[in-house]
């Protein structure tokens, strides 16, 4: 999983995390969920093996967290999914492709789910592995 760097040591795997990204979306089984929409809260975690910022300490050598948030928002708005499972898998695939992530976890929660019982939230988490470069 880790490659040796020029000094014979192991290069670190960097984990990027975004917690509590709140987006208004149009996903769900019912027509009302897809038409009217609802708020979903996303937690995204992914690993990257090639992050020069661990050595250079330069911002341009790392991943822009704002860009990650914008990319998740774009992926969550381009089409409507019936299931959170399919939505999370689609976002995971996109993060693997965009950032070369070796492992991605995407969690989507509905804080106000359309069910007739009092619950704090319902959520789905999908984990996918990417292929290292």
Catalytic residue set: 110
Pick from 13, 30, 14: nearest CA to 110: 30
Q: How far is residue 42's CA from residue 22's CA, in Å, rounded to a whole number?
A: 6
* 130, 101 Cβ separation under 8 angstroms: yes
Strands, sheet with 103-110, edge to edge from the N-terminal-most edge strand = 14-25, 38-48, 103-110, 122-129
């Amino acid at each position: 999983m880790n490659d040796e760097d020029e000094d014979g040591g192991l290069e670190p795997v960097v984990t990027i995390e975004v917690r509590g990204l709140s987006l208004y979306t149009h996903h769900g089984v019912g027509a009302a969920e897809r038409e009217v929409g609802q708020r979903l809260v996303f937690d995204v975690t992914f690993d990257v093996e090639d992050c020069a910022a661990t050595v250079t300490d330069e911002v341009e050598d790392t991943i822009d967290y704002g860009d990650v948030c914008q990319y998740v928002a774009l992926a969550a708005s381009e089409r409507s999914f019936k299931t959170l499972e399919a939505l999370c898998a689609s976002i995971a695939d996109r993060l693997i492709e965009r950032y070369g992530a070796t492992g991605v976890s995407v969690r989507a929660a509905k804080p106000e789910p359309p069910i007739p019982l009092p619950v704090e939230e319902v959520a789905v988490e999908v984990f996918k592995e990417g292929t290292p470069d």
